[in-house]
Chains A and B, each alone.
Chain A
Amino acid sequence: MKSKPKVAFFDFACCEGCQLQVANMGELLLEVLEIVDIVEFREIMSEKWDGQFDIAFVEGSITDEHATERVKKIRERSKILVALGSCATIGGVNGMKNSFPLEEVRRYVYGEFHKFFPTVETKAVHQVVKVDYFIHGCPIYQPEFLTVLKCILQGIPYYVPEYPVCVECKLNENVCMYDRGLSCMGPVTKAGCNSWCINNGNICYGCRGLTVNPNTEGFKEVLRKHNIPEDFLIKKIEMYNKCKELDK
């Protein structure tokens, strides 16, 4: 019998909520434990592992030199590295830092001691090391986590859908948020979450990042029609997508 793949979870700048999604899977977590061996996962166990990882899940974005070094070391020790959650896949809300001068941010956060806390621009994990799989979302959607895990074990790639959340939302037959008089990022946000938020009465915040080929001009026109100011959209997009600028 082949030994089970060794899996570890790490966090960087994040709220650790995506790991919580994994920890909170209930009985499914027990099924997952039948097929993988979790060797390091700060949120659920105190053990550490000093060998190689078959799969490393990395949550959070990279925001200082220390983190850069640490994620590089994790990469060296892992056969497969997975970016877990929006902070890791697209920079997420941490990316908003990049809208301001670094010095100003440091002063604002650390006050008079800011000199002791060096900082760098926020980066998504793939902007520092090679990432093999992406699990978007803030937080991640549990079924997608399982799908990706199965793809990893099968040795096949996972393709994040190239179409917007509306596709899944319409299949779930939700009443469109625009019909309710609310604004929603669904039309320009990557699908894959099965329109989780909208199914539960919330709007889409665009946490999975912009879709591959979004018609932003057309979307602005839609917002105009609903009397929503244009900078609202820009702000909404920047809330999760600011780090995208570093991809170019």
Chain B
Amino acid sequence: MEKVVIKESPYNVKKAKIIDIKLLTEKEKLFQLVFEDSSWLHFEPGQFIMISLMGIGEIPISVCSSPLNKEYFEICVRAVGKVTNSLHRLNIGDIIGVRGPYGNGFPIKILEGYDLLIIAGGLGLAPLRSLILYAIDNRRDFGQIHILFGCKTPQELLFREEIEEWSKRVDIHFACTVDRADPDWKGNIGLITSLIPGVDIEPARTYAAVVGPPVMYRFVIKELLAKGLPVDQILLSFERHMKCGMGKCGRCQIQNLYCCKDGPVFTFKEIMDMAEAL
């Protein structure tokens, strides 16, 4: 058996250095990364990259920084499995492998001129943060921006400082809720769906972007449809366990769609009649 090194292999990874780590919650950390060759990651909000820890494994993670940030890119990682727990043990200066970006993100150019209704459940805020930061950087390109964020407990609130900042802005409507509160919590209590009826939107002029745990979609979509949002203006990002990111391994297949190539962002219209999607 001959063996050749092929740099063009789609499985090649680029080395990236961790330049900063922020502890967001007990389980989530934010990693700031730069490529060792100081090139820049071109991506759209909502796209994902494959993160490699050599000898441990590779996982898909969406980029959560602004695509306009040319200094570094960020990923938000919850410690749940083999690779993510090992990632959490890394320090500033450590090297990891990155390939990508993969998939179709949020269609920014289409969204321009529309109002945005961004709905994030838990860790779903990570990919949406990229879209939010982009929209803030290009605030004049968008109409109204509503951000609804829900998580289980106040301890699980991600990006607290940024959330604080968003909620103070006059040009953004931000609302937040928790499923279970503690005595110090002064905000809303209840599921994320409880926030939707109160949002004042003009359906024809609004695009909704929804990311959260799989159970959340059905209920949120129901509320959005009740609001009169057209099915092709509801954008969803799906989580599947992609292994290759290139439409080959079959792991992320939803009927004839590959989450990694055709998604992870889909319009509700594309998948509404599709079993096994939601």
Of B56, B82, B85, B89, chain A has the most CB atoms within 10 Å of the CB of: B82
The 0/1 profile, CB within 8 Å of A marked 1, for residues 33-62 of chain B is 000000000000000000000011000000
Report B175 CB to chain A, min CB distance, Å: 38
CB-contacts of A129-168 with B (<8 A): 154-157, 159
* 11 sample A-B contacts, Cβ–Cβ < 8 Å, listed by A number: A154-B55, A154-B56, A154-B86, A155-B86, A155-B89, A156-B56, A156-B82, A156-B85, A156-B86, A157-B82, A159-B82
Of all chain A residues, the one with the shortest Cβ separation from B89 is A155
* Smallest Cβ-Cβ distance to B56: which chain A residue: A156
Which residues on B sit within 8 Å (CB–CB) of A155? 86, 89
- Per-residue interface assignment for chain B, residues 60 to 99, with 1 indicating a CB less than 8 Å from any chain A CB and 0 otherwise: 0000000000000000000000100110010000000000
By a beta-carbon cutoff of 8 Å, the part of chain B in contact with chain A is 55-56, 82, 85-86, 89
Q: How far apart are B90's CB and chain A's nearest CB, in angstroms? A: 12
A157: chain B residues within 8 A (beta carbon): 82
Query: Which of A154, A156, A157 counts the most chain B CB atoms within 10 A?
Result: A156
- Chain A, interface SS category: loop
The 8 nearest A-B residue pairs measured at CB: A156-B82, A157-B82, A156-B56, A156-B86, A154-B56, A154-B55, A155-B86, A155-B89
Q: How large is the interface on A (under 10, 10 to 19, 20 to 34, 35 or more residues)?
A: under 10
Contacts beyond the supplied A154-B86, A155-B86, A159-B82: 8 A-B pairs with Cβ under 8 Å: A154-B55, A154-B56, A155-B89, A156-B56, A156-B82, A156-B85, A156-B86, A157-B82
Tell me the nearest residue of chain B to A158, going by C-beta: B82
Contacts of B89 in A (CB 8 A): 155
Query: How far apart sit A197 and B89, CA to CA, in the bound complex (Å)?
Result: 39
Nearest CB of chain A from residue B84's CB, rounded to whole Å: 11
Chain A residues whose C-beta falls within 8 Å of the C-beta of B85 in the assembled complex: 156
A212 CB to nearest chain B CB (Å): 17
User: Closest approach, in angstroms, between the C-beta of B50 and any C-beta of chain A?
Assistant: 18
- The answer for the CA separation of A155 and B89 in the assembled complex, in Å, is 10
Closest-CB distance, B241 to chain A (whole angstroms): 13
With the chains together, A159 CA to B56 CA distance in Å? 12
Q: Bound complex: CA of A159 vs CA of B85, how far in Å?
A: 14
CA distance A155 to B85 in the complex (A): 9
Tell me which residues across on chain A come within 8 A of B86, comparing CB atoms.
154-156
Q: Smallest CB-CB separation from B57: which chain A residue?
A: A156
The chain A residue sitting closest to B85, CB to CB, is A156
In angstroms, Cα B55 to Cα A155, docked, is: 12
Kindly state the separation between the CA atoms of A157 and B79 in the bound complex, as whole angstroms: 13
Chain A residue numbers with a CB within 8 Å of B55 are 154
Residue of A nearest to B86 (CB): A156
List the B residue with the shortest CB-CB distance to A157: B82
**CA of A155 to CA of B90 in the docked complex: distance in angstroms?**
12
Bound Cα distance A209, B54 (Å): 32
What is the minimal beta-carbon distance from B57 to any residue of chain A, in angstroms? 8
For A150, the closest partner residue in chain B by CB is B55
Contacts of A159 in B (CB 8 A): 82
Give Cα distance in the complex from A156 to B57, angstroms. Answer: 10
Residues of A within 8 A of B82 (CB): 156-157, 159
Complex Cα gap A157–B56 (Å): 10
A156 to B86, CA, bound (A): 7
CA distance A154 to B53 in the complex (A): 11
Distance of A155 Cα from B56 Cα, bound (Å): 10
Residues of B within 8 A of A156 (CB): 56, 82, 85-86
Which A residues lie within 8 Å of B56 (CB)?
154, 156
Bound together, the chains give a CA A147 to CA B89 distance in angstroms of: 21
Q: For the complex formed, measure the closest distance between the CB of A15 and the CB atoms of chain B, giving whole angstroms.
A: 33
Assembled-state Cα–Cα distance A154/B56 (Å): 8
Distance, CA A156 to CA B89, complexed state (A): 11
A155 to B79: give the CA distance in the assembly, Å.
14
